[in-house]
Structure 1
Amino acid sequence: MKQGYPIARAGQRIGLLGGSFDPAHDGHVLITREALRRFGLDRIWWVVSPGNPLKAHGPAPLAQRMAQARRLLGGDPRVEVTDIEARLGTRFTADTLRSLRALYPGVKFVWLMGADNLVQFDKWEQWREIMETVPVGVLARPGWRTEGRYARAARIYRAAEMPFWASQRLAEGPTPRWCFVNIPMSRLSSTEIRQSGGWVRD
Protein backbone atom coordinates (compact mmCIF):
# COMPACT_ATOMS: atom_id res chain seq x y z
CA MET A 1 0.00 0.00 0.00
CA LYS A 2 1.21 3.51 -0.83
CA GLN A 3 2.60 5.64 1.99
CA GLY A 4 -0.07 7.73 3.67
CA TYR A 5 -2.90 5.35 2.76
CA PRO A 6 -4.80 3.54 5.55
CA ILE A 7 -3.88 -0.10 6.12
CA ALA A 8 -6.57 -2.77 5.80
CA ARG A 9 -6.59 -6.48 5.15
CA ALA A 10 -9.03 -8.71 3.30
CA GLY A 11 -12.00 -9.70 5.42
CA GLN A 12 -11.99 -6.61 7.62
CA ARG A 13 -15.27 -4.71 7.97
CA ILE A 14 -14.49 -1.03 7.61
CA GLY A 15 -17.02 1.75 7.89
CA LEU A 16 -16.50 4.91 5.87
CA LEU A 17 -17.79 8.17 7.32
CA GLY A 18 -17.31 10.88 4.74
CA GLY A 19 -17.68 14.61 5.05
CA SER A 20 -15.96 17.95 5.27
CA PHE A 21 -15.59 17.70 9.10
CA ASP A 22 -15.61 21.50 9.17
CA PRO A 23 -15.21 21.09 12.09
CA ALA A 24 -15.44 17.57 13.51
CA HIS A 25 -17.49 17.50 16.71
CA ASP A 26 -18.86 15.19 19.40
CA GLY A 27 -21.81 14.25 17.17
CA HIS A 28 -19.36 12.66 14.69
CA VAL A 29 -17.72 10.78 17.55
CA LEU A 30 -21.07 9.47 18.79
CA ILE A 31 -22.09 8.34 15.28
CA THR A 32 -18.75 6.56 14.97
CA ARG A 33 -18.95 4.70 18.26
CA GLU A 34 -22.55 3.67 17.65
CA ALA A 35 -21.72 2.50 14.11
CA LEU A 36 -18.83 0.35 15.37
CA ARG A 37 -21.17 -1.33 17.82
CA ARG A 38 -24.40 -1.52 15.84
CA PHE A 39 -22.96 -2.60 12.48
CA GLY A 40 -20.28 -4.97 13.77
CA LEU A 41 -17.42 -3.02 12.20
CA ASP A 42 -13.72 -3.58 12.89
CA ARG A 43 -12.68 -0.01 12.15
CA ILE A 44 -14.02 3.27 10.80
CA TRP A 45 -12.24 5.71 8.52
CA TRP A 46 -13.17 9.37 8.65
CA VAL A 47 -12.86 10.28 4.98
CA VAL A 48 -12.17 14.01 5.16
CA SER A 49 -13.11 15.48 1.79
CA PRO A 50 -11.13 18.23 0.05
CA GLY A 51 -14.51 19.92 -0.58
CA ASN A 52 -18.20 19.08 -0.65
CA PRO A 53 -19.71 19.30 -4.21
CA LEU A 54 -23.12 20.13 -2.67
CA LYS A 55 -21.82 23.14 -0.72
CA ALA A 56 -21.27 26.53 -2.33
CA HIS A 57 -18.41 27.67 -0.08
CA GLY A 58 -15.16 25.82 0.48
CA PRO A 59 -14.19 24.42 3.89
CA ALA A 60 -11.19 25.24 6.09
CA PRO A 61 -7.81 23.90 4.90
CA LEU A 62 -7.69 20.10 4.78
CA ALA A 63 -4.68 19.76 7.10
CA GLN A 64 -6.40 21.95 9.73
CA ARG A 65 -9.59 19.90 9.62
CA MET A 66 -7.69 16.60 9.89
CA ALA A 67 -5.58 17.78 12.82
CA GLN A 68 -8.65 18.98 14.71
CA ALA A 69 -10.45 15.66 14.02
CA ARG A 70 -7.52 13.66 15.37
CA ARG A 71 -7.38 15.76 18.53
CA LEU A 72 -11.09 15.22 19.07
CA LEU A 73 -10.78 11.43 18.73
CA GLY A 74 -7.98 11.31 21.28
CA GLY A 75 -6.07 8.47 19.64
CA ASP A 76 -8.89 5.92 19.39
CA PRO A 77 -7.17 3.02 17.55
CA ARG A 78 -10.43 1.92 15.92
CA VAL A 79 -10.81 5.18 13.99
CA GLU A 80 -8.51 6.58 11.32
CA VAL A 81 -8.70 10.11 9.95
CA THR A 82 -7.67 10.03 6.31
CA ASP A 83 -7.28 12.37 3.36
CA ILE A 84 -7.54 9.47 0.94
CA GLU A 85 -9.99 11.32 -1.32
CA ALA A 86 -7.40 14.03 -1.93
CA ARG A 87 -4.76 11.36 -2.57
CA LEU A 88 -7.02 9.51 -5.00
CA GLY A 89 -8.11 12.73 -6.72
CA THR A 90 -11.79 11.76 -6.48
CA ARG A 91 -14.54 14.32 -5.96
CA PHE A 92 -17.68 12.22 -5.70
CA THR A 93 -18.43 9.40 -3.26
CA ALA A 94 -19.18 6.87 -6.00
CA ASP A 95 -15.75 7.46 -7.55
CA THR A 96 -14.05 7.18 -4.16
CA LEU A 97 -15.79 3.89 -3.39
CA ARG A 98 -14.90 2.47 -6.78
CA SER A 99 -11.24 3.32 -6.22
CA LEU A 100 -11.23 1.91 -2.68
CA ARG A 101 -12.69 -1.42 -3.79
CA ALA A 102 -9.93 -1.70 -6.39
CA LEU A 103 -7.19 -0.70 -3.91
CA TYR A 104 -8.38 -2.97 -1.10
CA PRO A 105 -9.64 -6.25 -2.60
CA GLY A 106 -11.52 -8.37 -0.08
CA VAL A 107 -12.12 -5.54 2.39
CA LYS A 108 -15.79 -5.22 3.34
CA PHE A 109 -16.55 -1.52 3.16
CA VAL A 110 -19.74 -0.02 4.60
CA TRP A 111 -20.80 3.53 3.76
CA LEU A 112 -22.12 5.39 6.81
CA MET A 113 -24.42 8.40 6.85
CA GLY A 114 -26.81 10.27 9.06
CA ALA A 115 -30.53 10.18 8.29
CA ASP A 116 -30.28 13.82 7.17
CA ASN A 117 -27.98 12.73 4.35
CA LEU A 118 -30.38 9.95 3.38
CA VAL A 119 -33.01 12.64 2.74
CA GLN A 120 -30.84 14.22 0.03
CA PHE A 121 -29.07 11.01 -1.05
CA ASP A 122 -30.93 10.83 -4.38
CA LYS A 123 -29.25 14.13 -5.35
CA TRP A 124 -25.75 12.65 -5.02
CA GLU A 125 -23.78 11.86 -8.18
CA GLN A 126 -24.31 8.18 -9.13
CA TRP A 127 -26.15 7.49 -5.89
CA ARG A 128 -27.72 4.32 -7.23
CA GLU A 129 -24.25 2.89 -7.90
CA ILE A 130 -23.37 3.51 -4.25
CA MET A 131 -26.48 1.65 -3.09
CA GLU A 132 -25.93 -1.19 -5.54
CA THR A 133 -22.26 -1.83 -4.71
CA VAL A 134 -21.66 -1.03 -1.01
CA PRO A 135 -23.76 -1.76 2.10
CA VAL A 136 -25.09 1.47 3.62
CA GLY A 137 -25.59 2.08 7.32
CA VAL A 138 -27.92 4.95 8.22
CA LEU A 139 -27.86 6.41 11.74
CA ALA A 140 -30.92 8.41 12.69
CA ARG A 141 -30.24 11.89 14.03
CA PRO A 142 -32.75 13.84 16.14
CA GLY A 143 -35.40 15.47 13.98
CA TRP A 144 -34.58 13.39 10.89
CA ARG A 145 -35.96 9.95 11.76
CA THR A 146 -39.31 10.37 10.04
CA GLU A 147 -37.94 12.28 7.03
CA GLY A 148 -35.20 9.68 6.60
CA ARG A 149 -37.74 6.86 6.64
CA TYR A 150 -39.70 8.48 3.80
CA ALA A 151 -36.74 9.71 1.75
CA ARG A 152 -36.90 8.93 -1.96
CA ALA A 153 -33.84 6.65 -1.79
CA ALA A 154 -35.37 4.77 1.15
CA ARG A 155 -38.61 4.23 -0.76
CA ILE A 156 -36.88 3.06 -3.94
CA TYR A 157 -34.66 0.60 -2.05
CA ARG A 158 -37.22 -0.46 0.57
CA ALA A 159 -36.91 -4.11 -0.45
CA ALA A 160 -33.16 -4.03 0.26
CA GLU A 161 -33.53 -2.71 3.83
CA MET A 162 -32.36 -4.98 6.62
CA PRO A 163 -34.26 -4.99 9.93
CA PHE A 164 -32.52 -3.08 12.72
CA TRP A 165 -32.11 -6.24 14.78
CA ALA A 166 -29.92 -7.70 11.99
CA SER A 167 -27.64 -4.64 11.81
CA GLN A 168 -24.58 -6.61 12.97
CA ARG A 169 -24.67 -8.49 9.65
CA LEU A 170 -24.79 -5.41 7.42
CA ALA A 171 -21.25 -5.91 6.04
CA GLU A 172 -21.95 -9.55 5.15
CA GLY A 173 -23.83 -10.57 2.03
CA PRO A 174 -24.80 -9.22 -1.39
CA THR A 175 -25.74 -5.66 -2.22
CA PRO A 176 -27.95 -3.70 -2.33
CA ARG A 177 -28.44 -3.88 1.42
CA TRP A 178 -28.88 -1.07 3.91
CA CYS A 179 -29.94 -0.66 7.51
CA PHE A 180 -31.56 2.21 9.41
CA VAL A 181 -30.91 2.39 13.16
CA ASN A 182 -32.16 4.87 15.75
CA ILE A 183 -29.51 6.01 18.20
CA PRO A 184 -29.24 8.60 20.96
CA MET A 185 -27.35 11.47 19.43
CA SER A 186 -25.96 14.90 20.07
CA ARG A 187 -27.74 17.63 18.13
CA LEU A 188 -24.44 19.36 17.40
CA SER A 189 -23.74 20.19 13.78
CA SER A 190 -20.66 21.61 12.08
CA THR A 191 -22.77 24.45 10.65
CA GLU A 192 -23.94 25.52 14.11
CA ILE A 193 -20.39 25.45 15.47
CA ARG A 194 -19.13 27.64 12.61
CA GLN A 195 -22.00 30.10 13.04
CA SER A 196 -21.42 30.36 16.78
CA GLY A 197 -17.77 31.27 16.27
CA GLY A 198 -16.52 28.07 17.86
CA TRP A 199 -14.41 27.10 14.81
CA VAL A 200 -11.68 29.54 13.86
CA ARG A 201 -10.23 28.93 10.41
CA ASP A 202 -6.63 29.73 9.55
Structure 2
Amino acid sequence: MALAEESVPARYLRMPHVEKGMAVGLFGGSFNPPHAGHALVAETAIRKLRLDQLWWMVTPGNPLKDRGALAPLAERIAMSEKRVSDPRIRVTAFEMRYRIRYTADTIRLVKSRHPGVFFVWIMGADSLRDFHRWERWREIAESVPIAVFDRPGATLSFLSSTMARAFSHARIAETEAARLARLSPPAWTFIHGPRSSLSSTALREAARR
Protein backbone atom coordinates (compact mmCIF):
# COMPACT_ATOMS: atom_id res chain seq x y z
CA MET A 1 0.00 0.00 0.00
CA ALA A 2 1.40 3.38 -1.00
CA LEU A 3 2.29 5.92 1.67
CA ALA A 4 -0.43 8.36 0.51
CA GLU A 5 -3.01 5.60 0.74
CA GLU A 6 -1.86 4.53 4.21
CA SER A 7 -2.72 7.97 5.57
CA VAL A 8 -6.34 7.70 4.39
CA PRO A 9 -8.79 5.88 6.70
CA ALA A 10 -9.82 2.57 5.11
CA ARG A 11 -13.53 3.46 5.00
CA TYR A 12 -12.82 6.19 2.43
CA LEU A 13 -11.10 3.74 0.09
CA ARG A 14 -14.30 1.71 -0.29
CA MET A 15 -17.31 2.67 -2.41
CA PRO A 16 -20.32 3.71 -0.31
CA HIS A 17 -23.04 1.08 0.09
CA VAL A 18 -25.96 1.38 -2.33
CA GLU A 19 -29.00 -0.70 -3.22
CA LYS A 20 -30.47 -1.52 -6.62
CA GLY A 21 -32.93 1.09 -7.83
CA MET A 22 -31.20 3.99 -6.09
CA ALA A 23 -30.36 7.23 -7.90
CA VAL A 24 -26.79 8.25 -7.03
CA GLY A 25 -24.94 11.43 -7.95
CA LEU A 26 -21.21 11.26 -8.72
CA PHE A 27 -19.58 14.54 -7.71
CA GLY A 28 -15.84 14.34 -8.30
CA GLY A 29 -13.10 16.89 -7.86
CA SER A 30 -9.80 17.77 -6.26
CA PHE A 31 -11.61 19.80 -3.56
CA ASN A 32 -8.40 21.71 -2.96
CA PRO A 33 -9.80 23.07 -0.73
CA PRO A 34 -13.50 22.19 -0.51
CA HIS A 35 -15.74 25.19 0.16
CA ALA A 36 -19.34 26.25 0.67
CA GLY A 37 -19.86 26.44 -3.10
CA HIS A 38 -19.16 22.71 -3.42
CA ALA A 39 -21.60 21.96 -0.62
CA LEU A 40 -24.20 24.13 -2.31
CA VAL A 41 -23.89 22.15 -5.56
CA ALA A 42 -24.12 18.83 -3.68
CA GLU A 43 -27.19 19.86 -1.70
CA THR A 44 -28.90 21.37 -4.75
CA ALA A 45 -28.19 18.22 -6.74
CA ILE A 46 -29.81 15.98 -4.13
CA ARG A 47 -32.91 18.15 -4.14
CA LYS A 48 -33.28 18.92 -7.86
CA LEU A 49 -32.30 15.47 -9.13
CA ARG A 50 -34.15 13.57 -6.36
CA LEU A 51 -31.08 11.57 -5.44
CA ASP A 52 -30.92 8.85 -2.82
CA GLN A 53 -27.19 9.45 -2.36
CA LEU A 54 -24.43 11.70 -3.61
CA TRP A 55 -20.83 10.51 -3.65
CA TRP A 56 -18.47 13.40 -2.92
CA MET A 57 -15.43 11.84 -4.63
CA VAL A 58 -12.14 13.41 -3.56
CA THR A 59 -9.72 12.57 -6.37
CA PRO A 60 -6.01 11.78 -5.95
CA GLY A 61 -5.35 14.45 -8.60
CA ASN A 62 -6.73 15.98 -11.78
CA PRO A 63 -4.62 15.22 -14.90
CA LEU A 64 -5.56 18.64 -16.30
CA LYS A 65 -4.44 20.58 -13.22
CA ASP A 66 -1.14 21.35 -11.53
CA ARG A 67 -0.55 18.78 -8.80
CA GLY A 68 2.21 20.81 -7.20
CA ALA A 69 -0.28 22.86 -5.17
CA LEU A 70 -2.38 19.83 -4.21
CA ALA A 71 -2.94 19.29 -0.49
CA PRO A 72 -2.59 15.70 0.81
CA LEU A 73 -5.58 13.48 0.04
CA ALA A 74 -6.31 12.72 3.71
CA GLU A 75 -6.39 16.46 4.44
CA ARG A 76 -8.82 17.16 1.59
CA ILE A 77 -11.07 14.31 2.76
CA ALA A 78 -11.15 15.69 6.32
CA MET A 79 -11.95 19.19 5.07
CA SER A 80 -14.69 17.80 2.83
CA GLU A 81 -16.32 16.00 5.76
CA LYS A 82 -16.55 19.32 7.58
CA ARG A 83 -18.53 20.75 4.64
CA VAL A 84 -21.07 17.92 4.59
CA SER A 85 -24.22 18.07 6.71
CA ASP A 86 -26.68 15.92 4.75
CA PRO A 87 -26.26 12.19 5.61
CA ARG A 88 -27.05 11.32 2.00
CA ILE A 89 -23.76 12.91 0.96
CA ARG A 90 -20.95 10.34 1.27
CA VAL A 91 -17.35 11.50 1.12
CA THR A 92 -15.17 8.87 -0.57
CA ALA A 93 -11.74 8.46 -2.15
CA PHE A 94 -12.09 5.00 -3.67
CA GLU A 95 -10.36 6.19 -6.84
CA MET A 96 -7.09 6.11 -4.89
CA ARG A 97 -7.53 2.41 -4.12
CA TYR A 98 -8.17 1.54 -7.76
CA ARG A 99 -5.44 3.87 -9.08
CA ILE A 100 -7.96 5.68 -11.27
CA ARG A 101 -6.89 8.84 -13.09
CA TYR A 102 -9.74 9.42 -15.52
CA THR A 103 -13.46 9.98 -15.03
CA ALA A 104 -14.33 7.56 -17.83
CA ASP A 105 -12.65 4.77 -15.87
CA THR A 106 -14.41 5.78 -12.65
CA ILE A 107 -17.79 5.59 -14.34
CA ARG A 108 -16.99 2.27 -15.97
CA LEU A 109 -15.96 0.84 -12.58
CA VAL A 110 -18.96 2.01 -10.54
CA LYS A 111 -21.42 0.86 -13.19
CA SER A 112 -19.83 -2.59 -13.39
CA ARG A 113 -19.86 -2.95 -9.60
CA HIS A 114 -23.42 -1.69 -9.13
CA PRO A 115 -25.80 -2.93 -11.86
CA GLY A 116 -29.29 -1.64 -11.28
CA VAL A 117 -28.14 1.61 -9.68
CA PHE A 118 -28.86 4.84 -11.58
CA PHE A 119 -25.75 7.02 -11.62
CA VAL A 120 -25.64 10.64 -12.77
CA TRP A 121 -22.49 12.74 -13.19
CA ILE A 122 -22.51 16.15 -11.50
CA MET A 123 -20.25 19.03 -12.48
CA GLY A 124 -20.03 22.80 -12.54
CA ALA A 125 -20.51 24.89 -15.66
CA ASP A 126 -16.87 25.98 -15.44
CA SER A 127 -15.88 22.32 -16.02
CA LEU A 128 -18.27 22.08 -18.96
CA ARG A 129 -16.17 24.60 -20.89
CA ASP A 130 -13.21 22.19 -20.91
CA PHE A 131 -15.14 18.93 -20.92
CA HIS A 132 -14.00 18.10 -24.45
CA ARG A 133 -10.42 17.99 -23.12
CA TRP A 134 -11.29 15.20 -20.69
CA GLU A 135 -10.02 11.73 -21.56
CA ARG A 136 -12.73 9.89 -23.61
CA TRP A 137 -15.26 12.66 -22.97
CA ARG A 138 -17.74 11.33 -25.49
CA GLU A 139 -17.68 7.96 -23.75
CA ILE A 140 -18.53 9.71 -20.46
CA ALA A 141 -21.50 11.52 -22.01
CA GLU A 142 -22.74 8.29 -23.54
CA SER A 143 -22.32 6.30 -20.29
CA VAL A 144 -24.20 8.36 -17.68
CA PRO A 145 -26.64 11.26 -17.59
CA ILE A 146 -24.94 14.57 -16.70
CA ALA A 147 -26.20 17.46 -14.57
CA VAL A 148 -24.35 20.75 -15.08
CA PHE A 149 -24.67 23.35 -12.33
CA ASP A 150 -24.39 27.06 -12.93
CA ARG A 151 -21.22 28.85 -11.80
CA PRO A 152 -20.54 32.60 -11.82
CA GLY A 153 -18.99 33.60 -15.12
CA ALA A 154 -19.79 30.27 -16.75
CA THR A 155 -23.54 30.50 -17.33
CA LEU A 156 -23.20 30.57 -21.13
CA SER A 157 -20.99 27.48 -21.18
CA PHE A 158 -23.98 25.28 -21.87
CA LEU A 159 -24.45 27.14 -25.17
CA SER A 160 -20.84 27.57 -26.30
CA SER A 161 -19.05 24.44 -25.10
CA THR A 162 -18.06 21.64 -27.46
CA MET A 163 -19.94 19.10 -25.35
CA ALA A 164 -23.15 21.16 -25.31
CA ARG A 165 -23.06 21.52 -29.09
CA ALA A 166 -22.19 17.88 -29.72
CA PHE A 167 -24.98 16.62 -27.46
CA SER A 168 -27.54 19.39 -27.94
CA HIS A 169 -30.09 16.76 -28.98
CA ALA A 170 -29.74 15.06 -25.58
CA ARG A 171 -30.41 18.09 -23.39
CA ILE A 172 -33.60 18.03 -21.31
CA ALA A 173 -35.32 20.99 -19.67
CA GLU A 174 -34.31 21.93 -16.15
CA THR A 175 -37.92 21.37 -15.11
CA GLU A 176 -37.42 17.69 -15.97
CA ALA A 177 -34.27 17.33 -13.83
CA ALA A 178 -35.96 15.03 -11.31
CA ARG A 179 -36.07 12.22 -13.88
CA LEU A 180 -32.57 12.74 -15.32
CA ALA A 181 -30.81 10.00 -13.33
CA ARG A 182 -33.13 7.35 -14.73
CA LEU A 183 -32.85 8.38 -18.37
CA SER A 184 -30.74 6.41 -20.83
CA PRO A 185 -27.61 8.37 -21.80
CA PRO A 186 -26.77 10.55 -23.52
CA ALA A 187 -28.95 12.89 -21.48
CA TRP A 188 -28.05 16.10 -19.67
CA THR A 189 -29.49 19.25 -18.19
CA PHE A 190 -28.32 22.65 -16.98
CA ILE A 191 -29.34 23.73 -13.47
CA HIS A 192 -29.53 27.49 -12.92
CA GLY A 193 -28.73 28.85 -9.43
CA PRO A 194 -28.35 29.28 -6.61
CA ARG A 195 -24.73 30.15 -7.35
CA SER A 196 -21.67 30.65 -5.16
CA SER A 197 -18.78 32.90 -6.18
CA LEU A 198 -16.28 30.89 -4.13
CA SER A 199 -13.50 29.03 -5.93
CA SER A 200 -10.76 26.73 -4.69
CA THR A 201 -8.17 28.60 -6.76
CA ALA A 202 -9.07 31.94 -5.17
CA LEU A 203 -9.02 30.42 -1.68
CA ARG A 204 -5.55 28.95 -2.25
CA GLU A 205 -4.24 32.28 -3.53
CA ALA A 206 -5.72 34.12 -0.55
CA ALA A 207 -4.10 31.64 1.85
CA ARG A 208 -0.66 32.39 0.35
CA ARG A 209 -0.91 36.12 1.05
Task: Give the TM-score category using the shorter length.
Answer: over 0.9
1:55 aligns with 2:65: yes
Question: Could you tell me how far 1:144 is from its partner in structure 2?
Answer: 0.6
TM-score with structure 1 setting the length: 0.93
The runs of 5 or more residues in structure 1 that have no matched partner are none
Could you say which residue in structure 2 is the equivalent of 1:34?
44
2:195 to 167, 185, 189: 185
- Alpha-carbon offset, residue 39 of structure 1: 1.2
Instruction: Give the corresponding residue for 2:3.
Output: none
2:127 matches 1:117: yes
- Identity value in percent: 44
Structure 2 residue aligned with 1:23? 33
Q: 1:99: which partner in 2?
A: 109
Show structure 1 runs of 4+ deviating over 2 A: 2-5
Over residues 18-59 of structure 1, what are the superposed CA-to-partner deviations in whole Å (9 max), with x where a residue is unaligned? Answer: 000001000001001111111111111111100110012341
TM-score normalised over the length of structure 2: 0.90
Any stretches of 5+ residues in structure 2 without a counterpart? 1-9
RMSD: 1.6
Q: Within 2, Cα distance between the matches of 1:51 and 1:106?
A: 29
1:90-114 deviations in Å (ceiling 9; x for gaps): 1000001101111111111100000
Q: Pick from 147, 154, 159: which aligns with 1:144?
A: 154
Counterpart of 2:82? 71
Q: Does 1:194 align with 2:194?
A: no
User: How far does residue 149 in structure 1 lie from its aligned partner after superposition?
Assistant: 2.1
CA distance in 1 between partners of 2:109 and 2:43 (Å):
26
